Structure 1
């Protein structure tokens, strides 16, 4: 997209701030939910072409736990939070004390816990993005699936319609004591949504 060719450093600085504020919100929300300290590392923010999203989690045939939702409002798009089986098991263990093996299926309790954590993270990043841009952005009720990454993304396309070409990737690491777990947050704006966001953030496009 031509949009990304102008002022790339400035854009990334702005988006890193979105990630930092969102991580702070997420840490606070998770700490309250779990009634124990939870820290978030400084997130890594980058742009990823839609067709390369699966590569970031091990390939299209890699089984992942995926929380996904639709964003409506002034800058609509789709959001995914993807974790490998190893990381999902670690999240359940580190944050909730649930002993979970690396597997393809989960109990209702485990799915509910993973979905709630993904929902908190997605909501925190979306809230920081909406606050900084001043745009109205509201999430749908999240869904969770455990399947191959390619199948999850294909299902998202079928459910939400054509995806945008680029995704905003925020690599997120949770810290509790010396343990950590990580996941990959993707916001895939509809066409024109990135431009609206950057204009609202005061980022020059030319």
Structure 2
């Protein structure tokens, strides 16, 4: 059904364990914005298993055509067509969301874009909202595994502005815009799921 579309093995591997925690985190949410939906594998899986949630995928314009095709084929009633959303340039969606999810984005975004992401959170979500961020993080400036260290070095060889972020800095940025860390879950492959509330 999707064999001709872009595919992420990492998404395929991590979608089930992430879903288990999102079912708790987004239990009271009715509309969730996903920032950086990429291939759309997460969006399809989560929308299918969270039928009470309108799951709004989004990404930069270059990724929209193939992302849109995957969502179209999924044909789920709670999975609308994706939004074009560049954190640095595009206006916020007219409708604020009560949940926001992003996976494997903070280490790809240059640091000024990470700051912009947090600065814009309150334009994207309602006054009471849940924020879930998935990916690798460092603790007290240290890598949690050799594989994360190698991954970080690979990222920085592509672009020095990329890299695994320190969790303490991310928590501080979130707090500066009103989000408090509720849970820091250990995930497979040395990743974490951070759940914040506002």
TM-score (normalised: structure 2): 0.27
Greater relative contact order, per chain length (Cα 8 Å cut-off, separation 6+): 1
Q: Which has the higher helix share?
A: 1
